[in-house]
Structure 1
């Protein structure tokens, strides 16, 4: 199995990129040669640019993000509008290249694990193809329990046991009584460890922000021990 991690979300716009970039920054600060990948993107390539910035690597953007569609839609729909199909060979070629080049590879998915990539492929099939452990990023506010439990259940249908869940706030949370109890309830219902609850910080939303600050922010609020265990266990 590749030394790396696939990061998915329970929804779109919940902070997968912030969390992935933060983890990359932490690992890089500890002299772990960490690569990043965003196999498929739609709407823009900002996520791939952010990942490259915080991983502090000089990598061709086309290797990090080999497939891009103009419309901010599910790839199955965006590809139809752009009148071109996903180049799976190029995705797998870039993945193989990056996993050989770096000691640890962080792969950020598009949306959640059931997002359709084509007429017969979802993100979950990409995870299976890459054979990477799965980390789930979820919203921290009201409604996250349902989304997160469903995501875990769907992953398990395909034989994938998530290594952890990170709750993240990509905007200020005000007057939400569920905030303090969501972590424990999600862990109770899924049996998957909630590794942390990352609070909103405006500085972490900057696409070219302070690498050290984001890394410290993630490190302060997330238990990264399962990731270090992957580094030790994976060949």
Structure 2
């Protein structure tokens, strides 16, 4: 059994695309292994519904997303609007339950590493406390180098087991733009974290075979779940 947390530098880094592609890779290339997907906390409709549509998961909606809030806001704010609390105990219990039935669990975090989960804890805090192997998604754009450096520093401060960085083209990018805005060697040198590759812009994220093929071109050996 292996678990991987997918987080990003911000809310539009491309976590859902990477999670979808990696799930497609596992279902196509390792169909004998039981795959689970979680979006532990979700505010507003979106990711949970997408995973239910694209994949045949032996999970209930509450096992994919233990905590669901209607307003598309940060969890502590969305919870307060509903006079509820962010019950991390429920999230942990659900994760353990899903772990008991699956060989691989992909967990898509909300927002970025610095996004608040409660009024006291961020995604980075939770990843560190729960000892979740984590991959950081960095969107290919101007300023990406600084974002990568800042987020890796936050991960280290919170003792996150950061296994690697994945560059992601959230919009169409040329090879020159990728090289200029997110040079892998420079990012690796500044962060001392391996860059596992770059996901090109994917217009049709429902084409699971294409998604799996793209993911297969990354350095998956560094991810313990793909060993």
Return the TM-score normalized by structure 2.
0.90
Aligned partner of 1:27 in structure 2 is: 26
Structure 1 CA distance for aligned equivalents of residues 158 and 136 of structure 2: 15
Structure 2 CA distance for aligned equivalents of residues 230 and 9 of structure 1: 18
Aligned partner of 1:224 in structure 2 is: 220
Aligned partner of 1:155 in structure 2 is: 155
Pairwise CA distance, 1:13: 1.6
Structure 1 CA distance for aligned equivalents of residues 168 and 146 of structure 2: 15
Structure 2 CA distance for aligned equivalents of residues 57 and 230 of structure 1: 18
> 1:26-84: per-residue Cα shift (whole Å, max 9, x none)?
1122223221111001121x212323444531321111011111222111221122221
Structure 2 CA distance for aligned equivalents of residues 156 and 129 of structure 1: 12
Aligned partner of 2:77 in structure 1 is: 77
User: Could you tell which deviates more after superposition, 27-36 or 7-16?
Assistant: 27-36
Structure 2 runs not aligned, ≥5 long: none
SS, match of residue 218 in structure 1:
helix
Q: Cα RMSD between the aligned structures? A: 1.9
Query: How many matched pairs?
Result: 223
The structure-2 alpha-carbon separation of the partners of 1:113 and 1:131, relative to structure 1 and needing over 3 Å to count, comes to same
Aligned partner of 1:65 in structure 2 is: 65
Return the TM-score normalized by structure 1.
0.87
Pairwise CA distance, 1:213: 2.0
Pairwise CA distance, 1:160: 2.2
Structure 1 CA distance for aligned equivalents of residues 53 and 21 of structure 2: 11
Structure 1 runs not aligned, ≥5 long: none
SS, match of residue 101 in structure 1:
coil
